[in-house]
Structure 1
Amino acid sequence: MNYEIFQWINDLAGRSSFLDRGMIFITNSVPYVVIAFMLFLWFTANKEKRAEKQYTAIYIVFSCLLGLSINAILHLVYYHPRPFVAHHVHQLISHPADSSFVSDHSVLVFSIACTLLLRNDSWKYPVLVWAIIVGISRIFVGVHYPADVIGGALVSYGTSILVMQFSKKLEPLVQLVFYMYKRLTEHIPFLAKYSYRGLS
């Protein structure tokens, strides 16, 4: 089933240069979109929402770090060959032949989506749709199986729940982030106006 679904999606590659370029762009742009979205969360909220949005951004970082750490351990203890290693596929991007399960990209984007869902953020549904499209793009370009993407989503959901469940215990780390931001504002004063604490 895993390979059959992979074939169904990956066989769409090579039929339309427009679709190919779009999927390549989506999959390659993930790190930049993530950074841009995190900056958006931190800096664009009004004063009433600023604390909520900045806490959400920090929880996203915690969930991503935990999820990627779990993924790194999985890659060390279990090797699953990527589709382009085990089969003849339409591979649209270059990629090392490391373990396929689970997808780092999926862990990253679904950590954001799941945290937003659990925090009931206004961006939860658009980001969830984006995360799903990113997951599909990883299959489309030939570097992941559907199970890799689903596994990444499940890891992210688990880490996001853990972060929210232990949010009170994580508060000292959150305050450390705010303290570091305060120190940064001492060198870049205009950033102070973006803190809900009014560090000016």
Structure 2
Amino acid sequence: MEKRGIIIYFLFIFLLILCFYLDNPISLAIARLRTDFLNNLFVFITSITNEILIIFFFSLFFIWKDEKREWILPLWISFIIGAVLSLIIKISVQRLRPFQQGLINTLPSLVEQSHSLWNFSFPSSHTLLAFCLLPILIKAYPKLKEFFISLMLFIGFSRIYLGLHFLSDVFAGAIIGYGIGKLVVMKEENTKFGERTYKKIREKIKVIKRKTFGR
């Protein structure tokens, strides 16, 4: 297992280096595919996959079924770890986005939304946060695995298409995010911290209801 882990680690490093090499050609090639329809589509995808919206949407997804609610805490823990780590890496690396480097243009509306000084390109936080939720979503809803994977890949591609990120930004975000989510899932399976926390909260709510309504 240790040998396999080392091989996977070096494989990811190799692929990341390859992505850096392909960054400019890929960005230029994808920019040539732009149409008004695709522009509107990917801007819409970007707006509905805002970091805050996506965590609240999937939280509601878990609240919908009682037996899935134990995964809400792991979902939020994964999201918070991903957000903090993404910010630290961005500030440390300080890589400019493709449109900021003058390689390609992005849409005026996206420039005006302003990617502030701290919000650099590497890694893609949209992609990182989407992928850190992926292992938890798959664990809770295995039948929707293909849908969730397709959705996260679509989010990642939209960042490249709009000129907001390079291929390497998205690849790194996906790998880091998925790794965080996987570790949180493993922790939950070993300790059941999410399940235990949810049961405690549920019992406290029952006690409050009995005291309030007398039943």
TM-score, normalization: structure 2? 0.72
After superposition, residues 62-77 of structure 1 pair within 5 angstroms as 62-77=77-92
Q: Residue 10 of structure 1 aligns to which amino acid in structure 2?
A: A
- 1 or 2, which has the higher helix percentage? 2
One of 37, 40, 43 as aligned partner of 1:18: 37
Q: Conserved in 2, the CA contact under 8 Å of 1:64 and 1:107?
A: no
State the SS of the aligned residue for 2:178.
helix
Q: Residue 136 of structure 1 aligns to which amino acid in structure 2?
A: F
Percent identity over the alignment is: 23
Change beyond 3 A, Cα 1:149–1:176: same
Question: 1:84, 1:185 → 2: CA distance?
Answer: 54
Question: 1:66, 1:174 → 2: CA distance?
Answer: 19
Q: CA RMSD in A?
A: 2.6
Structure number with bigger Rg? 2
The size of the alignment, in residue pairs, is 181
After superposition, residues 98-177 of structure 1 pair within 5 angstroms as 98-118=119-139, 121-167=142-188, 171-172=192-193, 175-176=196-197
State the SS of the aligned residue for 2:164.
coil
Change beyond 3 A, Cα 1:59–1:20: same
2:63 maps to which residue? 42
Question: 1:8, 1:68 → 2: CA distance?
Answer: 30
Q: Which runs of 5+ in 2 are unaligned?
A: 1-21, 210-214
1:85 maps to which residue? 100
Q: Which runs of 5+ in 1 are unaligned?
A: 190-199
Q: Conserved in 2, the CA contact under 8 Å of 1:2 and 1:146?
A: yes
1:3 maps to which residue? 24
Q: Deviations over 1:72-103 (max 9, x none)?
A: 11122211111111124130212325320011
Question: 2:193, 2:134 → 1: CA distance?
Answer: 24
Q: Please report how far the alpha carbon of residue 41 of structure 1 lies from its aligned counterpart in structure 2 after TM superposition.
A: 2.1
Question: 2:191, 2:28 → 1: CA distance?
Answer: 43
Question: 2:128, 2:207 → 1: CA distance?
Answer: 34
Change beyond 3 A, Cα 1:5–1:186: farther
